[in-house]
Chain A
Amino acid sequence: MKQIFTVTELNENVKRLLEASFDALWVEGEVSNLRRPASGHAYFILKDEKSQIRAVIFRSLPVARQFPWARPMQFELEEGMSVICGGRLSVYHPRGEYQLIVEVVEPKGLGALQKAFEQLKARLQAEGLFDPVHKKRIPFLPQRVGVITSPTGAVIRDILHITARRFPSVDILIAPVRVQGSEAPPEIIRAIADMHAVGNIDVIILARGGGSLEDLAAFNDEGVAREIFRSRIPVISAIGHEIDYTIADFVADLRAPTPSAAAELVMPVKKEIVASLETLRSRLINCMLRMGEKVQGKVTSLKGRLRDPRRAIHDFRILVDDRTERLMLSLDHVRAMQRPKLLNLEIRLHHATPISQIRDRQLALESLRKSVIAGWQTIVGRLRMRMETSAAVLDTLSPLSVLRRGYGIIRTLPEGIIVKNAAAVTVDSKVDVKVSSGSFHAKVTEVKQE
């Protein structure tokens, strides 16, 4: 009778078998095909030269019950990294595949802690947590200093001793923490938060004595580093000896080589401050005294320079005179310039006068007058000759010559009308009778009409 499995049954059987047989194992190999989907789990293939197996690390790494001695993983997987994985086998039966559920990973070669340190340092550096721009200034004279450290041991005593010596009136607030072991990081983180809650803390010193890399692990904790970065109060790290560097040192605002050095960095010497304050005060007073003298001197000198306003009036008067004089001079100057011009014009005017023309015309006129007179006399002489000729002729025709021959001319009186007709006179009218050698009045005595 053949036993026939369904695929599901087979895979479930294999799952049971494998998971029971390989409940806890260590495998060493090289990481490849590393993927981190959104779920946050890490999938990769663990391989050597000849073979490979699927592996997964779940994001919330379960407490490694099979490996109670192991620390939680402190570094990040990288492609090609040689690792030793602690975990168990598991069958994913929907696909009939088996894989390694990894609970613990340790790097081969470098120690796990050193590797973790270097990776965290590189990552935080890339994120900029060590960037100098984020470093806060350490106050020059803090009034209250917070110290996060173990309340027992040499470190706190050294710090208290040095601060007391340098500056006997500064308050110290100690936040006691464990500085070693798995409880140390959360305690340190809480202490930094508490310092903020208490208030009035000017600077925090985070201190621990020297130790191995293991001992200093709490100061290489990512959570501690981020809390230091977040702190609004400046943080001075003073961890281990001068040669020990921790992540906290890189992210702190100031690294002191030792806890004692931190106390010295934070506390100036009181005597020196008092002295410099005294110097400042005396400089201030000297300044004021000098200022007073300077002002006094200035007032005196200004007073000397103050002038009688009448002097200004005199000056103006002189100025006005001077200007007037210059005005006059300039007027003379203009005159001197214009005189020759005037002269010249006069000469030209003189030359252009019409007198000679008038004389010329007068002469012409005179000659014309003479011509006219001469002509006139000629004409008159001629006329006279003609007249005389005519008078002789006329004389022969004259009524006078008729009268001489015995005729008379009768005119009415007083009208003087020549009487040519008998009807022109009446009886008793008087008439004038002209004869050759004179005339006489006569009276009409009779009128006879013919």
Chain B
Amino acid sequence: MAKEKFEEALGKLEEIVKRMESGDMSLEESLRAFEEGIKLARLCSRKLDEAERRVEILLKQEEGLVVKPFQVEEE
């Protein structure tokens, strides 16, 4: 679940909401769907709130590729 792409999670959430709104689900099914939907919504929120963005630059050094913070030169 942790590696799940935001878009997939959002897509699944939309799918679940649509299916529930169509109204032809059993109670058990809809309970399961609801539970999963709430989980997905929470996951999506978390992904949106995740860590501050990093801007990095890819550099080639002797030991190979290195990722370093990138400083934007302001004008």
Which A residues form the contact surface with B (CB < 8 A)? 139-141, 143, 151-152, 156-157, 160, 163-164, 167-176, 191, 194-195, 197-198, 202, 270, 273-274, 277, 280-281, 283-284, 287-288, 290-291, 294-295
Give min CB distance, A162 to chain B, whole Å.
Answer: 13
| CB contact between B37 and one of A202, A273, A284 (< 8 Å): that residue | A284
Q: Does B55 contact A (CB under 8 A)?
A: yes
Q: Does B65 contact A (CB under 8 A)?
A: yes
Interface string of B4-39 (1 = CB under 8 A from A): 011100100110110011010101001100100110
B21 touches A283 (CB 8 A): yes
A198 touches B55 (CB 8 A): no
Which B residues form the contact surface with A (CB < 8 A)? 5-7, 10, 13-14, 16-17, 20-21, 23, 25, 27, 30-31, 34, 37-38, 41, 44-45, 47-60, 65, 67, 70, 72-73, 75
- With A160-B55, A175-B58, A284-B16 in contact, do A194 and B65 touch (Cβ < 8 Å)? yes
Give min CB distance, A276 to chain B, whole Å.
Answer: 8
B7 touches A283 (CB 8 A): no
- With A191-B58, A281-B41, A291-B27 in contact, do A169 and B21 touch (Cβ < 8 Å)? no
Contacts of B60 in A (CB 8 A): 194
B58 touches A194 (CB 8 A): yes
A-B contact pairs, 27 of them (CB 8 A): A141-B47, A152-B73, A164-B53, A169-B53, A172-B53, A173-B56, A174-B55, A174-B58, A175-B58, A191-B58, A194-B60, A270-B48, A274-B45, A277-B10, A277-B13, A277-B44, A277-B45, A280-B10, A280-B37, A284-B16, A284-B20, A287-B21, A287-B34, A288-B31, A291-B23, A291-B34, A294-B23
* CB nearest to A139 among chain B residues: B7
Contacts of B65 in A (CB 8 A): 194, 197-198
Known: A283-B21, A291-B25. 15 other contacts (CB 8 A): A157-B72, A168-B52, A171-B53, A172-B70, A174-B55, A176-B57, A176-B58, A191-B58, A194-B65, A280-B17, A281-B38, A284-B34, A288-B20, A291-B34, A294-B23
B52 touches A169 (CB 8 A): yes
* Dominant secondary structure at the A interface: helix
Give min CB distance, B51 to chain A, whole Å.
Answer: 7
Contacts of A287 in B (CB 8 A): 17, 20-21, 30, 34
A283 touches B17 (CB 8 A): yes
B58 touches A172 (CB 8 A): no
B58 touches A169 (CB 8 A): no
| CB contact between B50 and one of A140, A169, A176, A295 (< 8 Å): that residue | A169
Contacts of B13 in A (CB 8 A): 277, 280, 284
* CB nearest to A279 among chain B residues: B17
Contacts of A280 in B (CB 8 A): 10, 13-14, 17, 37, 41
Q: How far is the CA of A176 from the CA of B30 in the complex (A)?
A: 50
A173 touches B30 (CB 8 A): no
A173 touches B51 (CB 8 A): no
Give min CB distance, A364 to chain B, whole Å.
Answer: 102
6 closest Cβ pairs, A-B complex: A287-B20, A140-B7, A284-B37, A281-B41, A175-B58, A288-B34
| CB contact between A198 and one of B5, B23, B25, B58 (< 8 Å): that residue | B58
Give min CB distance, A438 to chain B, whole Å.
Answer: 147
Contacts of B37 in A (CB 8 A): 280-281, 284
Contacts of A157 in B (CB 8 A): 72, 75
Contacts of B25 in A (CB 8 A): 291
- With A169-B50, A280-B14 in contact, do A160 and B27 touch (Cβ < 8 Å)? no
* CB nearest to A294 among chain B residues: B23
